[in-house]
Structure 1
Amino acid sequence: MTHHTLYSEFKLKNINLNNRYIVAPMTRISANQDGKANETMQKYYERYAKGGFSAIISEGIYLDESYSQGYENQPGLATEEHLNAWKPVVKAVQRHGSIMIAQLMHAGGQSQDNAYTNETISPSNIPPKGEQLGFYGGSGAFQTPKSMTITDIEQVTNSFVKSAVRAKKAGFNGVEIHGANGYLLDQFLTDYLNHRNDQYGGSKENRLKIFLEIIGSIREAVGSDFIVGIRISQIKVSDPDHKWAEGEKEAEYIFSELGKTSLDYIHVTDGDATSPSFGENSRTLAKAAKEFSNLPVIANGKLGNPDKAEELLKNNEADLISLGTSALANPDLPNRVRNNMELSEFDFEKILLPLAYVKDLELNMRIVQ
């Protein structure tokens, strides 16, 4: 075996991971209509644990019976019923030696289906760019969201905290705050979506404020022994070419401030995790996160090739590797690579599009970052 770093142990918080492979969070839309996790989801996540992934990050889980839901059939952690429905899923993963982290997500203005309301909210009443995703049931432009009040912001923070506590009670090993891909927290960080003139808008310092408040509030609620991470990106579901206005300078500020918090890791995602993220000869997003935050970093973005992933780790640009489409195509990828077995290529046409309206476990293969 030539991929020694990929198969070396790594200590995340107080847990020893037996390799560096993690399943990335992927929208599955296979929960019950009421947001409860189910047996199909249990089998889906369990097969990654059987396949050798050391950790699995769940799909984005909505937080409350209000504005947070983003998709039909998205799972929730908004109620005790949701909490109890997740328990067998988490146990199924953990009994194979993997850990499971719940990704907590508020869709904000990028929501395209919500069982609890027909409205969306965002820092300002500016709709996301682009159009809704047809294979998730949406169509046409995103609606114009309601501009959030200070009370709304306080309620969102409270929803993140309560969901984190439910995740801990459900047996998850930790939570990941979804601050990426154009969802609510990323909308605060994005200059063209955040036109607020209060303490949550304007400067990059103000636009990052809600992140820092949520991180601090979650840590206070879950205690020091529970993993708390965050996902960050420049790219969005609705704007895949977006870059931070100040480039590497803005990255330095964001990651430096996150590094001062009680976070246990930063998870970054980019179109290609090994490509410069801020222009020619600049750092990758993963390298920027690692150097500026001094926290463990999970890298995501076209890292299914084990040689490519190994090189990123050996260059000390990341500590862990998360896989999305490569994991869908190869649920047992860590075991395959370890045993020098051939990997299957991800085929969007074959795996996704013909199967957009079915629920069978083997056919339900829909994905978005």
Structure 2
Amino acid sequence: MPSLFDPIRIGAIEAPNRIFMAPLTRGRATREHVPTPLMAEYYAQRAGAGLILTEATGISREGLGWPYAPGIWSDEQVAAWKPVVKAVHDAGGRIVCQIWHMGRLVHPDFLGGEKPVSSSATTAPDAAHTYEGKKPYAEARALEIDEIPRLLEDYRRAARNAIAAGFDGVQIHAANGYLIDEFLRDGDNKRTDAYGGSIENRVRLLREVTQAVADTVGKDRTGVRLSPNGLIQGTDDSNPEPLFVAAARALSEIGIAFLEMREPGPNGTFGTANHPPIAPAMKRVFHGPLILNSDYDGRSAQAALDEGNADAIAFGRTYLANPDLPVRLAADAPLNKDVASTWYSQGPEGYVDYPTLAASKAA
């Protein structure tokens, strides 16, 4: 069985190890969702990852409702991403852009007061982060059938822009209760048209978005994130295993470069599972590299590879606090602890000031 430190081919990308950096929302872009020079320093520090999956990046104004999160729909955003990507490449790294539509989790404050869109007219629980603090979510409106071609073009444009900015590929965010996940799961999807009801219909938008992106940038530069866990941000499914197996089969038929999944256990730190793991059944029908993510440490990550459950592991908060994570795992060295109060704050604190192992030893 492979080691975490063995190389792996991910579509068009040759990854030098199997310790990937998971997408991590950090809120260091501008209020206009333009990347900043500080982001170049942050990602370059983590270029030792086999592959960096960027923080979720909005495909459109309609789809982005997180304060200070980056977008990739405008020329200004593309220009600002270029030095970020170049810094990673100059440091020897590989980086793909995770493209994101938040669906009903976009607060109307980001939309000039308009309703967000979703699979159906539903309301997310809890509250949204806005520039004025947390506010209750608003009821979404159901995306109309005749709007779907426009949505697909938003994804195509974001994917084209990502390649224009120099990214090695893109990852479609189809997890965690955001738009595509809201179409997948019957807890939110109450449609009676071709995008609702049966599993085949609920998988349709995922298939169409993925095909559109693959046709735009190449299937060998296209990945997808799914989250076959239980309830997350108000989104759940009554019978998740056949749903997510069907989704994995559809993605395998398209021939995407990789599938990355968040599947936390019963004590997961962001979403929990109320059923046995679905990833093994998905791996039987998805024939590309499978990357697992959620609460792994070095030993459990290697065990997942040894057991044949995954081809690589994506580390989240561990990478947030340990820019040289592969070095630390190879040395079985202590890990820095992340500081939750700086996860989404602006500025360098808790962002680019976590020490490397070498710096800690020299101190």
Confirm or deny a common fold (TM above 0.5): yes
From 13, 19, 22, the equivalent of 1:21 is: 19
**Cα distance, 1:154 vs. partner?**
1.8
**Cα distance, 1:133 vs. partner?**
4.8
**Cα distance, 1:7 vs. partner?**
0.5
What does residue 224 of structure 2 align with?
230
Residues 298-319 of structure 1: per-residue CA shift (max 9 Å, x gap): 100111x211100001111011
Does the aligned pair in 2 maintain the 1:25–1:103 contact within 8 Å?
yes
Letter in 2 for 1:363: G
From 126, 130, 136, the equivalent of 2:126 is: 130
Any residues of structure 2 matched to 1:1-369 within 5 Å, and which? 5-49=3-47, 52-65=48-61, 67-112=62-107, 115-119=110-114, 120-133=116-129, 138-223=133-218, 226-235=220-229, 237-239=232-234, 243-272=236-265, 279=275, 282=276, 284-303=277-296, 305-346=297-338, 351-353=339-341, 355=342, 358-364=345-351
**Cα distance, 1:250 vs. partner?**
2.6
Cα distance change of structure 1 residues 285 and 201 upon mapping to structure 2, 3 Å threshold = same
Cα distance change of structure 1 residues 110 and 138 upon mapping to structure 2, 3 Å threshold = farther
Cα distance change of structure 1 residues 190 and 359 upon mapping to structure 2, 3 Å threshold = same
Cα distance change of structure 1 residues 335 and 59 upon mapping to structure 2, 3 Å threshold = same
Does the aligned pair in 2 maintain the 1:101–1:174 contact within 8 Å?
yes
SS of the residue aligned with 1:59? coil
**Cα distance, 1:39 vs. partner?**
0.8
What does residue 359 of structure 2 align with?
none
Does the aligned pair in 2 maintain the 1:259–1:294 contact within 8 Å?
yes
SS of the residue aligned with 1:234? coil
Residues 135-176 of structure 1: per-residue CA shift (max 9 Å, x gap): x86524310012211232221111001100010111100000
Does the aligned pair in 2 maintain the 1:86–1:170 contact within 8 Å?
yes
Does the aligned pair in 2 maintain the 1:243–1:278 contact within 8 Å?
no
In 1: Cα distance, 2:133 partner to 2:256 partner: 34
TM-score by length of 2: 0.88
**Cα distance, 1:285 vs. partner?**
3.6
In 2: Cα distance, 1:320 partner to 1:6 partner: 7
**Cα distance, 1:207 vs. partner?**
0.8
**Percent of pairs with identical residues:** 29
Residues 89-143 of structure 1: per-residue CA shift (max 9 Å, x gap): 0011112221101000001101137644332111111112333358x86524310
In 2: Cα distance, 1:8 partner to 1:340 partner: 17
Cα distance change of structure 1 residues 37 and 72 upon mapping to structure 2, 3 Å threshold = same
Letter in 1 for 2:119: P
Letter in 2 for 1:10: I
**Cα distance, 1:264 vs. partner?**
1.1
Residues 314-360 of structure 1: per-residue CA shift (max 9 Å, x gap): 111011111111111212111111233222344xxxx122x477422
**Cα distance, 1:13 vs. partner?**
1.1
Letter in 2 for 1:174: G
In 2: Cα distance, 1:174 partner to 1:85 partner: 17
SS of the residue aligned with 1:271? coil
**Cα distance, 1:273 vs. partner?**
10
SS of the residue aligned with 2:136? coil
Does the aligned pair in 2 maintain the 1:124–1:146 contact within 8 Å?
yes
In 2: Cα distance, 1:273 partner to 1:223 partner: 37
SS of the residue aligned with 2:288? coil
Cα distance change of structure 1 residues 339 and 39 upon mapping to structure 2, 3 Å threshold = same
Does the aligned pair in 2 maintain the 1:216–1:262 contact within 8 Å?
no
In 2: Cα distance, 1:114 partner to 1:6 partner: 43
Letter in 2 for 1:59: E
Cα distance change of structure 1 residues 358 and 78 upon mapping to structure 2, 3 Å threshold = same
For structure 1, the 5+ residue unaligned runs are none
In 2: Cα distance, 1:95 partner to 1:270 partner: 33
SS of the residue aligned with 1:64? coil
In 2: Cα distance, 1:331 partner to 1:273 partner: 28
SS of the residue aligned with 1:260? helix
For structure 2, the 5+ residue unaligned runs are 353-363
